[in-house]
Each structure stands twice: as structure tokens, then as C-alpha cells.
Amino acid sequence: MAFSLGPLHIDPPVLLAPLAGITDRPFRDLVASFGAGLVVSEMIASQEMVQGRAGTRERAELGFDAGRTSVQLAGRDPHWMAEAARMVEAQGAAVIDINMGCPAKKVTGGYSGSALMRDPDHALRLIEAVVGAVSVPVTLKTRLGWDEDCLNAADLARRAEGAGVRMVVIHGRTRCQFYKGQADWSAIRAVRDAVSVPVIANGDITDAGSARAALLASGAAGVMVGRGAQGAPWRLAEIAAELFGHEAPTIPEGSALCNMISAHYEAMLTFYGSALGLRVARKHLGWYMDRAGTPTDLRRRILTGTDPAQVLSLLPDAILTEGAERRAA
């Protein structure tokens, strides 16, 4: 089920979803080190990036030349979307993804993200502007529609393909569902049937079992994993091994796991600087400790720690199974 996006051969067809505040350069690099067909950046606001508003350009300029990376852009103005696309292409982006699926009120309130599904004609103008601005493949990520009365993903995908979009990712919920209920993978099949470009299923795909069920229900060419990779950056490689015959990843345990987490922590501090890095790292350390069953007191000390050296010194007892069990006893 592998496919190509321009010069990129997407094999395995298991992709990392864009997650705001999560799929930054350190996390993308870590997921890619285990194996992924494509990793997608956190959403970047197009106008803010081009105008160099604080924080946006700095985040956008790091890591897009790291190989199998897609950069996701959001916006409502064709001019700014096109300018941002040119900018990230110049910085080495292998693929550019257009966000028409984000359900957040601060995004849809600005008529971006999934709000664009309520105005397909305007959505198409954005798509045409981006495709016309760059030579790299352009993809599209949407939901099933705005609500149950506006299930227009198949029609939008058909029009997007006609405008030059090379792949479509569908989250199996409407915008108004946000993340409630269960993703409807079977509803994605209508999109698959409407286009000839690869369609990727997204939503509630957390392991090989759910990935297999999503592929069966949707008929999609591949899957996109988001929350399932939190605290488990090897998850995409696990799915690729079980469903597509790739070599199974070596999942770190014991001291190897602790070393991996420590390296991820230090990479975040280097990427963001110590002050911001400490805050960003907390969510990732929390997910790792959730998996390890770290005792509450030790967890609190790590998540509130302001001295990186102290946090690193506490990680072995927090992560190593025998250490966590000993402290919990």
C-alpha cells in the first residue's frame, strides 16, 4: 500500500499527525528514528509566519530540511498561504499540508481550519494558491465535515484533487464532534471512492489493532497516528511492522528507555532554551511516566523541577520499572 508524493516514497504508509505543541522538531526526530513514512509539523499560522511575529518564524525555520517532513500551514487568505508555502519550501520542506481540519475555536473563529469546510469555494481558492506557489507536493487534511448536516469531505477532496492536491487525510469526525465519541472510519470510504489520490485515515488510531480496523473500514491507503504516539514514539514503527511487514522496532526498556527519554528531554532544552524547554518537556515527561507507573510524589518533583540536572538525576527512578515499583511499594 506504499505510494509516492513527488520524489518521496511513502513506505510504510504510517504517518505522524500534526499536533499543536507536540510534533515539534525534537519529537519528530525521535519518531522518525524508529521509522515513519512521513512526519508532519505542528500547525503553523501562515500570515503570522510570513510577517515574523514572535515565536512563529523561529519555530518554522527549524527542522523542515530533515528529510521526510511535511509542514502544515493554516490560514484563510490565499496570499498569505501562498507566501508561507514558498517560505517553507525554500527552507527544505518535502511536503506542504493544508489544515482544514483543526476544530479549535481560536482557529475556526478566524475562519481557518475546519471552518473552511463551510465555504468550499473559498477553501478551493486557498488550495489553488498553495499548489500554484510551490513545486513540492501539497496535501490536505480535513474532517468529515462541519457537522452532521454538512458532510462534504468527499466533494471537497474531489475538488482538491482537481486543483493538484496529491494526498488527502481525513479525521473520522465532524468539527462539531471535536474529539468526542468514536471516529467513524467507515465514513472515510466515501472520500476514498471519490478520488484517485491516496486517502489516509486518522482519528482514534492508537495501535496496530485500531490501525487494522481503520484500514478495513475505510479502504484507506494508510493511517495517521497522533495521540497514540504520545509517550511511545515507536508506535508508528510497531504498526508498520505488524500491518505492512516492516522490521519490528527495538522498543527501549530499562536503562535504554531512560537514556532515550533523557536524550529527548535534553533535545527539547536545546531546541527551545532552558526556560521554555522546561515547560514544553513536562507534557512529554508526563506521558512517559504514565507508562512507567511513576509514584505521584516523584512525578510531581520531576514535573515541577526547574533544574535540568536535578530532573535528569530523578529520571532513572521514575522510569525504570524496578525503581518505580520499589518506590510505589
Distance CA 49, CA 70 (A): 16
Are 170 and 140 spatial neighbours (Cβ–Cβ below 8 Å)? no
Sequence-separated (6 or more) residues with CB below 8 Å from residue 115: 107, 108, 109, 146, 175
> Is 102 noted as a catalytic residue in this protein?
yes
Amino acid making up residue 219: G
CA distances from 279 to 23, 42, 283, 313 (A): 15, 17, 8, 18
C-alpha cell at 229: 504516539
Cβ count within 10 A of residue 8: 19
Q: How far out from the chain centre does Cα 168 lie? A: 14
75 contacts 111 by C-beta, under 8 angstroms: no
What is the Cα–Cα distance from 253 to 259, expressed in whole angstroms? 9
Nearest alpha carbon to residue 169 among 181, 185, 180: 185
The grid coordinates of residue 180 equal: 468526542
Q: Distance between CA atoms of 216 and 212, rounded to whole angstroms?
A: 6
Q: How far apart are CA 147 and CA 287, in angstroms?
A: 32
Residue 93 and residue 151: Cα distance in Å, rounded?
31
Task: Give the Cα separation of 203 and 226 in Å (integer).
Answer: 8
**Residue 142, by phi and psi: left (phi above 0), alpha (psi -120 to 50) or beta?**
beta
**DSSP secondary-structure letter at 2?**
-
Determine which one of 102, 150, 176, 258 is catalytic. 102
Q: So which residues are the catalytic ones? A: 102
